[in-house]
Structure formats: structure tokens, C-alpha cells
Structure 1
Amino acid sequence: MVKPKKTKTLPEFKTEAEERAFWESHDSSNYVDWSQAKPARFPNLKPSTKTISLRLPVALLERIKVEANKRDVPYQSLIKTWLAESVDKHRL
């Protein structure tokens, strides 16, 4: 049987900034017994996004906006959906 590691007591933090500063200068292994950690899943987190610039012919953008309006979705969301579907379809 593995004996749990003795850890230091965490201080009380008044603000998130104070806690952030603490963790920037302290090793978490002194405060957390990572051997007791269990995997976690966070299925409802939104994936990170990155803003890009994409130049489209005006006529094409207008056609996309018409299609998005028919589906009652934002045109940028429709573009993302189409791109994801196309990538999935062409994946090796």
C-alpha cells in the first residue's frame, strides 16, 4: 500500500491574482499529492478559437449570407460548419 505524500497546507487567497502569483512561484507538488489525482473530462468546454482574415469575393460572401439566413444561423457559423464537414469528408 502506497502511503500518501505529506503536503503543505495551502494558504487562503484573497483574490485570483494573489493565487496566480503564488502558483507562479511555488511548486504544486509540495501542496498536492499528484499520486491521488484522477483523470478528468470537461466535455462542455468550448474549444479555443483563433481569429483569421479570409478574403472572399463579395458575390460569394453574399451567397453564403443568403444560405445562412435561410438556415437562421450566423454566416460565420455556417462557414465553420461547412469547413469542418469538408475536412472530415476529405480526411485520410
Structure 2
Amino acid sequence: MKKPLNIPKFKNEDEEFKFWSNLDLSEYFEPSDAVSVSFPNLKPTSQPISLRLPNMLLDKIKEVANREGVPYQSKIKTELGRVFLGVA
């Protein structure tokens, strides 16, 4: 495989954006250069949903959440995560 090209120095973000927007990255990087990254402080995206629950169930959820001192919607998210994802 050919040697990757050198990456130029940029004066500002706009110049860098234009440069990276119009080229093939494989000319500048080898697949073996890739490294695994993690973003521990990045919050996962969430999506609002509409969920109909029987009043009796919702009242019980609110009661338990109130007893634990947490908002009931947070309690629902926590319990769903625990049941379906094994998250404590």
C-alpha cells in the first residue's frame, strides 16, 4: 500500500473543514492507524415516547418513586434499563 499523505497545518476551523470535506480519508490514514475511542461523559440520546399505563400502575410507580425521592419518569427509565439492559 502507498505511503499516506501528510496532513497540512490549518489557520482556522473553516479551512480545516473545507479540507476534510472534499477528500478521501484513505489517502491520509491507514486502517491500522485506527484506535478505539470512548466518550464516557457523552449522554446517550433519548427519544420521547407516549405510553399509556393503567392509572393504578402509574399511581403505584409514582408512590414508589416518591418514597425513594426520585421523579417518577426517572424511576420508570431506571426500571426499564434494569429489566431490559441489565443496568443497575
Fold-level similarity (TM above 0.5) = yes
2:80 aligns to what?
A: 83
Distance in 2, Cα, partners of 1:78 & 1:52: 15
* TM-score normalised according to structure 1 size: 0.60
Q: Which has the higher contact order (CA 8 A, sep 6+)?
A: 1
Give the aligned residue type for 2:3.
K
Q: How many residues align?
A: 85
Give the aligned residue type for 1:46.
K
Alpha-carbon RMSD across the aligned residues, in angstroms, is 3.2
Are residues 1:48 and 2:48 paired? no
Q: Deviations over 1:9-64 (max 9, x none)?
A: 24526447x72x65443222223344222222334432232222111233432321
Q: Is the 8 A contact 1:65 1:75 kept in 2?
A: yes
1:6 maps to which of 4, 7, 13: 4
Distance in 2, Cα, partners of 1:13 & 1:61: 57
Distance in 1, Cα, partners of 2:83 & 2:4: 52
Q: Is the 8 A contact 1:10 1:31 kept in 2?
A: no
Give the aligned residue type for 1:73.
V
* TM-score normalised according to structure 2 size: 0.61
Distance in 2, Cα, partners of 1:58 & 1:14: 57
Distance in 1, Cα, partners of 2:41 & 2:61: 29
- Tell me: CA distance 1:36–1:15, structure 2 relative to 1, closer, same or farther (3 Å): closer
Identity %: 42
- Tell me: CA distance 1:50–1:24, structure 2 relative to 1, closer, same or farther (3 Å): farther
